[in-house]
């Protein structure tokens, strides 16, 4: 039924994440990928890219009125980023917990922002905040043939 499809979509979702330019410069890419791999999430898309200001303005469209918007676009276009799509049970919600708070100062040790950065304007990683924004962000940054649906041999050891 339609209800079941919606349930599957919201629970077993994809999330868009990007290691920001400071995360790439600071050699945190491997560490960040490692955390999501070890958690049990599945990598379904990944690329190193230089984002254009136009793409970033679209990506952060909801923040266009904020005083930090222009600085954010500059920061995000200041060097290559690593864009990723991860899949798994409740991945959007769980990934936000793994990232920590927007401000690294409010992020607990053990989270990515809590462990690896100091200021909100250099907080090393982005993660979609809802399933809906994840879908929007994935379609903004990835083409269909850049995403891979692959069978995980460990699936039965991750999901009961
Ligand atoms: N940001 C900033 N100053 C602020 C709030 C946010 O520079 O006062 C930047 C920060 O890099 C943040 C991004 O804008 O990650 C997007 O803001 P959002 O509120 O969506 O936070 P996020 O979803 O990344 O936690
Ligand atoms: Mg956000």
Query: Tens digits of per-residue pLDDT, 28-76?
Result: 999 999 999 999 999 999 999 999 999 999 999 999 999 999 999 999 9
What is the Cα–Cα distance from 87 to 45, expressed in whole angstroms?
9
The answer to whether the annotation marks 12 as part of a ligand binding site is: no
The answer to whether the annotation marks 16 as part of a ligand binding site is: no
Q: How high is the ipTM of this complex?
A: 0.99
Question: Is 102 close to ligand 1, i.e. is its CB under 6 Å away?
Answer: yes
Positions marked catalytic: 126
**Torsion angle, alpha carbons of 69, 72, 74, 77, to 10:** -130
Tokens of 47: 């690329």
Question: Is 110 close to ligand 1, i.e. is its CB under 6 Å away?
Answer: no
Query: Tens digits of per-residue pLDDT, 116-160?
Result: 999 999 999 999 999 999 999 999 999 989 998 888 899 899 998
Q: Which ligand is nearest to the CA of 99?
A: 1
8 A C-beta contact, residue 81 and residue 49 = yes
8 A C-beta contact, residue 17 and residue 84 = yes
């Amino acid at each position: 039924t339609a209800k079941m499809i919606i349930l599957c979509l919201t629970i077993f979702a994809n999330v868009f994440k990007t290691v920001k330019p400071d995360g790439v410069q600071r050699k945190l890419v491997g560490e960040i990928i490692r955390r999501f791999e070890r958690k049990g999430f599945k990598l379904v898309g990944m690329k190193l890219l230089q984002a254009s200001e136009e793409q970033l303005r679209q990506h952060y469209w909801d923040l266009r009125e904020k005083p930090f918007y222009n600085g954010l676009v500059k920061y995000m276009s200041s060097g290559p980023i690593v864009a990723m799509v991860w899949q798994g049970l409740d991945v959007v919600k769980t990934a936000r917990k793994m990232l920590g708070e927007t401000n690294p100062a409010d992020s607990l040790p053990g989270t990515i922002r809590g462990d690896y950065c100091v200021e909100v304007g250099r907080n090393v990683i982005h993660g979609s905040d809802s399933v809906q924004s994840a879908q929007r962000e994935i379609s903004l940054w990835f083409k269909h043939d850049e995403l891979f649906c692959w069978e995980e041999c460990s699936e039965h050891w991750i999901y009961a």
